[in-house]
Amino acid sequence: MDERVLLAVDGDSLAHRAYHALPKSIRLNAVLGFTNFLLRLWDAESPAAVLVAWDTLEEATYRHEALPEYQSGREFEDSIVEQLDLLPDFIRAFGFACAKGAGYEADDFLAAAAKRWRGRVVVATSDRDAFQLASERVTILQPVKGVSELARVGPAEVRERYGVEPEQVPDFIALRGDSSDRIPGAPGVGAKTAAAVLRQYGTLEKALRAGRFPAVAEELRLYRRIAQMDAKAPLPRLAAQKPDWAGAAEAARELGLAALAKRLDERA
């Protein structure tokens, strides 16, 4: 165990990925796939502590209120919604910390954890918005093939992919837009132009003050606020943990996941 490492996991992002990676004929496929992924991460990273962050689907955030079209059009099948309701309590049975609260997204808890943990942080998520967290201390683990292959993203990889620094990612998203979140961006501005503007001015705000994009200046400021993760999100206490494999096995049995329970018993 590395006493310096916090593993911070985007629960919704990776549960959705597991749900679509495993056949729906498998009962509780998202729960099973997510747990398998979490166990692989635990074995690979040997963290001192684990935090799993969750969205609150039934509650709007300030982002939805400020931009009604934000994330609009997303419809989830009943099965994944039901499994997302089960997962936080199931993961707590492992002795791991969970963060979920009205008004916040999983991203916000990841940002808060990255800011508050004093050692190294590994953030596992398929959401590229998290690239804004990359630093010498914070590494992003991004699934690239289902949940079986991971890319390690630090500041150098952010610069290579986007042509900007990690702290410029919210400005970059605001300018370029984000089709998955329904953030429009600046009209006619793609990734290359967004990166060029930020290389010239440093920040979106400086570009706007210099007279760039005057017709949509306030909209772009809004898009940046939406893209910025909220590191003030409330967190449970983060401290070194010893996994409760026996408790996790019992919770798996209660869900009817006998094979998973057996594997967890073996860890215990």
Same domain, 151 and 24: yes
CB of 115 closer than 8 Å to CB of 231: yes
Q: What is the pLDDT of residue 3?
A: 66
Domain holding 235: CATH number? Answer: 3.40.50.1010
What integer best gives the mean pLDDT of the chain?
A: 94
Same domain, 10 and 99: yes
CB of 256 closer than 8 Å to CB of 135: no
Same domain, 83 and 197: no
Q: Which two tokens stand for residue 214?
A: 């005057």
Same domain, 8 and 66: yes
User: How many C-beta atoms lie closer than 10 Å to residue 116's C-beta?
Assistant: 12
Q: Residue 208 above 60 pLDDT? A: yes
**pLDDT over 90, % of the chain:** 85
Same domain, 217 and 235: no
Same domain, 189 and 99: no
State pTM to two decimals: 0.94
- Sheet of 2-10, strand order: 97-99, 47-53, 2-10, 120-124, 138-145, 149-153
Q: Residue 188 above 60 pLDDT? A: yes
Range of the domain at 206: 162-227
Same domain, 36 and 143: yes
Domain holding 205: CATH number? Answer: 1.10.150.20
Q: What is the pLDDT of residue 71?
A: 77
Q: Residue 199 above 80 pLDDT? A: yes
Residue-wise pLDDT for 44-64, tens only, equals 999 999 999 999 877 778 898
Residue-wise pLDDT for 4-58, tens only, equals 899 999 999 999 999 999 999 999 999 999 999 999 999 999 999 999 999 987 7
Total domains in the fold of the chain:
2
Q: Residue 146 above 70 pLDDT? A: no
Instruction: Say which residue the tokens 């006998």 belong to.
Output: 258
Residue-wise pLDDT for 93-108, tens only, equals 999 999 999 989 999 9
Same domain, 144 and 94: yes
In the three-class reduction of DSSP (H, G, I as helix; E, B as strand; rest coil), residue 262 is classed as helix
